[in-house]
Structure 1
Amino acid sequence: MAVQELINTYTVHVYETGPDGRISLHALFDFMQDAASEHAVKLGYGRDDLLKKNHFWVLSRMYAEITEQPVWNDNVMVKTWPSGTDKMFAMRNYDIRFSDGGHIASASSSWLIIDRITKKIQRPDEFLIRYNNENDNVTPLLRGAVKLPGTSDGSPSPAFRVSVNDLDVNLHTNNVNYLRWICNTYDLNFIMNHYPSSVEINYLAESVFGDEIIIRTSWDEENESCFNHSVFRLNDDKELCRVRLCWKNKKALKK
């Protein structure tokens, strides 16, 4: 059977760029989330399909390697496909390119199905497993995300609260907004001169409207161009998200 894939083309709007005129990290991840959601609907496993069983999708882990940063008005093609199951996880991969075929990024993601009432993880049913495993013969573009160490004693950011604009349709913080929060902790001069070359994320727990948040940051011991970030909820010191973010000088970009 043919590979079950979806290809969408997005135009980078001015509001999706940062102060350097290049696409923001969270906007790039928005493109991937949008394509994944649309493809799930086409395959019969979209949000409304799962809600009929009182279930919903949750992104658990994601890893991306980025080689170029599109600019305002660039057309970006996002190809995505389910790529097998791993125990309770449904896997999905992405290949992102310019309209001329030039590479922008590759990514892998691990998703869970959660029961809305019990909050327990649900095992993928046989139909979903079969759909995903039909793409098993496709060579992965890169490895899957792994468990990150986080940083419990890193330098803390100023505290802030989850706002209405941070929420998704499940009334939880949208997964992309954790990246936006983390990028906001960086110095402007650093952002103007560097681009994110790889991003690895572990989502550990949900946050909701009004939660007070801090982000702890430390240098990565294995690579001085990388930082480890942990997002904490202050009232119970619950760790919500871990991110390993690596950077390169923008002089390495071709565009």
Structure 2
Amino acid sequence: MQSKVGEYPFTVEPFHCDFSNHLFLSSLSNDLLNASDYHSESRGYGISYLNARHRTWVLSRLAVEMNDMPVAYDKIAISTWVEAAFRFFTSRNYAITSQDHQTVYGYGRSIWAMIDTDTRQPVDILQIQGGLIKDYIETDRDCPIAKPGRVAISKDATLAKTVTMNYHDIDVNGHVNSVKYIEHVLDLFGLDWYRSHRVKRFDIAYVAESHAGDELCFFMEKAAAKEENDEEEYLVRIVRKGAEDGEVVRCSIKFVKI
């Protein structure tokens, strides 16, 4: 049996970096999802096995907390492991380090569900490969950041922008890509903001699917300060325009000054 923890090397490519030469959070998030795929694929419950059976993984929640962001050409490693597995969801953690493990950039936590690609309904994860995922649960590896929490945004949040979902927003599952939401949310803040702030923690909860042609409305408000520190937190709710129950995403972004 393979090890419970997988570690995968990545190079920070300059075209995945922002104007400050640091890796985009969206690009890092994409690397996290790739690491998840590599880990599950090599252990027998990945996308290729599932797709042949009309099943797939869908990301339900993601939290990423960074001490610092790597810069162009840095060699990084992403370690990932399954912390727990239940009938309808599983939790997966990440550590982002330099490849020599001398620098710890940050950590991530995620929650995944499995759906039937025909009905879009949840699937019992523990029935796949006879519950094989349970053999790879790792409980001894520490992930020292808070679990994804509930984002409590008020109905008074201000409409910040409206965006129509198009070709580059859609992924292999036929819905808006998880990382594309992150990009659109971080674009709510201008370059001047990012010259003096960086993302410390990003939490996102995926509530419902959206698709090509959907017009998404981004509502944002600043969270009340919980304690005296240099953090500023913003809350965002994404709603499908014209839908009676159209909420698709909620997220919170904590910034620190640089």
Which TM-score applies when normalising by structure 1? 0.91
Q: Is the 8 A contact 1:12 1:73 kept in 2?
A: yes
C-alpha distance after superposition, 1:124-154 (max 9, x if no partner): 1252442243x12333333321222134331
Moved over 4 A (4+): none
Q: Which residue of 1 aligns with 2:134?
A: 130
Q: Is the 8 A contact 1:55 1:116 kept in 2?
A: yes
Q: Is the 8 A contact 2:86 2:125 kept in 1?
A: no
Give the unaligned 5+ runs of structure 2: none
Please report how far the alpha carbon of residue 242 of structure 1 lies from its aligned counterpart in structure 2 after TM superposition.
0.6
Separation in 2, partners of 1:131, 1:142: 24
C-alpha distance after superposition, 1:45-95 (max 9, x if no partner): 111211232111110011121001111111111111111124521111100
Separation in 2, partners of 1:130, 1:88: 13
Please report how far the alpha carbon of residue 40 of structure 1 lies from its aligned counterpart in structure 2 after TM superposition.
1.1
Q: Is the 8 A contact 2:85 2:134 kept in 1?
A: no
Q: Which residue of 2 aligns with 1:225?
A: 232
1:180 counterpart = 2:189: no
Relative to structure 1, the CA distance from residue 51 to residue 9 in structure 2 (aligned partners, 3 Å threshold; closer, same or farther) is same
Amino acid paired to 1:124: I
3-state SS in 2 of match to 1:159 = strand
Separation in 2, partners of 1:123, 1:87: 5
Separation in 2, partners of 1:140, 1:25: 19
Q: Is the 8 A contact 2:2 2:43 kept in 1?
A: no
Q: Which residue of 1 aligns with 2:70?
A: 70
Aligned partner (choices 129, 153, 156) of residue 150 of structure 1: 153
Which TM-score applies when normalising by structure 2? 0.90
Give the unaligned 5+ runs of structure 1: 251-255
Separation in 2, partners of 1:140, 1:98: 16
Relative to structure 1, the CA distance from residue 190 to residue 43 in structure 2 (aligned partners, 3 Å threshold; closer, same or farther) is same
Aligned residues: 249
1:234 counterpart = 2:241: yes
Matches within 5 A, 1:14-93: 14-93=14-93
Relative to structure 1, the CA distance from residue 87 to residue 136 in structure 2 (aligned partners, 3 Å threshold; closer, same or farther) is farther
